[in-house]
Amino acid sequence: MKTIYRYPTRSISSLIIVVALLAFGTTFGQGKADQIDKLMKTYHEYDQFNGSILVAEKGDVIYSKGLGLANMEWDIPNASDTKHRLGSITKQFTAALILQFVEQGKLDLNAPIAKYLKNYPKAQGDKITIHHLLTHSAGIPNYTSLETFQDIYRNPYTPKEFLTVFQDSILEFNPGEKFAYSNSGYFLLGVILEEVSGKSYETLLHENILSPLNMTATGYDHHDRILKNRATGYDREGKKYTNSKYLDMSLPYAAGSMYSTVEDLYTWDRALYTNKVLTQKFRDLMFTAYMPTGRASYGYGWSIGKEKVANRDSITVVEHGGGINGFNTLIYRIPEDNHTIILLNNTGRIELFDMAKKLTKILYDQPFEMPKQSLALAVMESIKSQNTEEGMKTFETHQNNEDYNLNENEMNRVGYYFLQNSKTKEAIEVFKMNVVAFPESSNVYDSLGEAYFMDKQNELALKNYKKSLELNPENENAEKFIEKIKNQ
């Protein structure tokens, strides 16, 4: 509802005070829904959000709508009932199914997976437990990061067939030793559920969670099925949008195969405060912080962290993002105050976490900065439409411009866009700009090192990998490439 300001007629001085207060900040006098609307419309105006959003305060929905287009060819708008692919938000549903089976005595969290997967390599299967898979601490290489994945992502597989892609891989570390995000672990959890139950993962999802909660707008996505209100996924190259690459949905499986709406995910959020899916004991297990991730800790299918709000030292934030061709998503929950933010975007990789933090500030009546134009995308557009020199000029001109925001991860993605499209020289210049902007980040030197390595400039590659390792002694990727370069 639009806020209507009615000015008193008591005196001219009173009017001056009111006008001055209104001029003090963009959010003064606005309701929270109005502030959210203005914030999200600005994100959309700057091509930084195109999708569906729901915000609930103390359990009640205060904002739910779509921005931009669900289908750009037909100018069909996004809405609160638009179905988006979820990507890794799927993992929390997989974790819930596992915990249901544990509660029923069908699975043991601490049992080795060899107990349930008879054909899995025994040397690894005897060491890895279900707990390790749930917490990304099994050491199994992430199959979406394997070089072979780019050759097979369009092909359909049964779950057991796809296991052969990664099950013989050497473990990256001993199970339980540390955290390393891996879709492979959650894929395995889906196979375990099928082995124990004799039913498909999709059937279990519907029977155990979706149907009992009446989540009729949620399911396992299949490319060939007619699905009403399904959003199309898009990727972005600067200001240009393209249809995202095809991905056979048998590959994300229990790690990322689901679709839903913001409304249905709100139903899911509500159920997690009740015994409808899991009893309190097993909900507590799900939301326990087991493995430190750097930014937060990981539970079972959820990231658990702390944020400072208002005059409180910290609040617990339970969240998880997702990314899959043409989509990225986030469910962001603050259980102690019953707040929920759900963001489903259908234009590829967007910084949703920072968006959620601004929305959180609105919920707690805290000041926040309005979005700015993306300098990374401006640089990308300058390089694509003109040349690298113009991209560098754009960077230098706007680096300290208050109307632009420079995000390290966004700039990194622009560099990798050029690198993956065989434009190595352009990638090097973009990564060099990122080094200038974020000289204390290990990751920017790692990326620059990779670009130099691809360009066969090994001396410069080695220099940057060493700098990356100096800033982050745990950077195993830098260690691997340093050895690779020295042995050439």
User: pLDDT tier at 22 (50, 70, 90 boundaries)?
Assistant: very low
Give the list of residues 6+ apart from residue 123 with CB closer than 8 angstroms, or none: none
One-letter identity of residue 319: E
Average pLDDT over residues 270-298: 96
Distances 323 to 87, 350, 458 between C-alpha atoms, Å: 5, 9, 33
Question: So what's the pLDDT on residue 208?
Answer: 98
Question: So what's the pLDDT on residue 236?
Answer: 84
Question: Which of the two residues, 237 and 375, has the higher pLDDT score?
Answer: 375
What digits encode the pLDDT tens for the residues 42-71? 999 999 999 999 999 999 999 999 999 999
3 has pLDDT over 70: no
One-letter identity of residue 366: Q
Distances 473 to 293, 310, 359, 487 between C-alpha atoms, Å: 16, 35, 35, 21
User: pLDDT tier at 302 (50, 70, 90 boundaries)?
Assistant: very high
As given in the structure block, the two tokens for residue 379 are 């640089």
18 has pLDDT over 70: no
Question: So what's the pLDDT on residue 237?
Answer: 78
Supply the mean pLDDT for the chain. 91
Q: In a 3-state reduction of DSSP, which class is residue 449? A: helix
CA dihedral 158, 159, 165, 166 (to 10 degrees): 180
The values of phi and psi at residue 228, to 5°, are -60, 140
Question: So what's the pLDDT on residue 320?
Answer: 98
Question: So what's the pLDDT on residue 14?
Answer: 35
As given in the structure block, the two tokens for residue 45 are 């105006």
What digits encode the pLDDT tens for the residues 386-442? 999 999 999 999 999 999 999 998 899 899 999 989 999 999 999 999 999 999 999
Question: So what's the pLDDT on residue 15?
Answer: 32
17 has pLDDT over 80: no
7 has pLDDT over 70: no
Nearest to 407 by CA among 464, 475, 354, 342: 354
What digits encode the pLDDT tens for the residues 446-463? 999 999 999 999 999 999
Q: Going from the N-terminus, what domains does the chain have, and what CATH number goes with each?
A: 87-363 (3.40.710.10), 373-486 (1.25.40.10)
Question: So what's the pLDDT on residue 321?
Answer: 97
User: pLDDT tier at 488 (50, 70, 90 boundaries)?
Assistant: confident
**pTM attached to this predicted model:** 0.88
What digits encode the pLDDT tens for the residues 174-215? 999 999 999 999 999 999 999 999 999 999 999 999 999 999
User: pLDDT tier at 334 (50, 70, 90 boundaries)?
Assistant: very high
What digits encode the pLDDT tens for the residues 123-173? 999 999 999 999 999 999 999 999 899 899 999 999 999 999 999 999 999
**Spatial contact of 301 and 295, defined as CB atoms under 8 Å apart:** no
User: pLDDT tier at 353 (50, 70, 90 boundaries)?
Assistant: very high
Question: So what's the pLDDT on residue 311?
Answer: 81
Q: Where are the alpha helices (DSSP H) in 280-423?
A: 280-286, 352-363, 375-385, 388-398, 408-420
Place of tokens 């993002």: 321
Average pLDDT over residues 363-367: 95
The values of phi and psi at residue 77, to 5°, are -75, 150
User: pLDDT tier at 295 (50, 70, 90 boundaries)?
Assistant: confident
d(CA 358, CA 378): 23
Q: Residues 340, 204, 187, CA angle at the centre, nearest 5°? A: 80
Average pLDDT over residues 365-375: 93
369 has pLDDT over 70: yes
465 has pLDDT over 60: yes
CA dihedral 135, 138, 144, 146 (to 10 degrees): 160
User: pLDDT tier at 100 (50, 70, 90 boundaries)?
Assistant: very high
Distances 21 to 2, 14, 34 between C-alpha atoms, Å: 19, 11, 17
Q: What share of the chain is helix, strand, coil (3-state, %, to 5)?
A: 45, 15, 40
Nearest to 400 by CA among 372, 380, 427: 372
As given in the structure block, the two tokens for residue 466 are 């060493």
Place of tokens 């938000």: 89
Question: So what's the pLDDT on residue 147?
Answer: 85
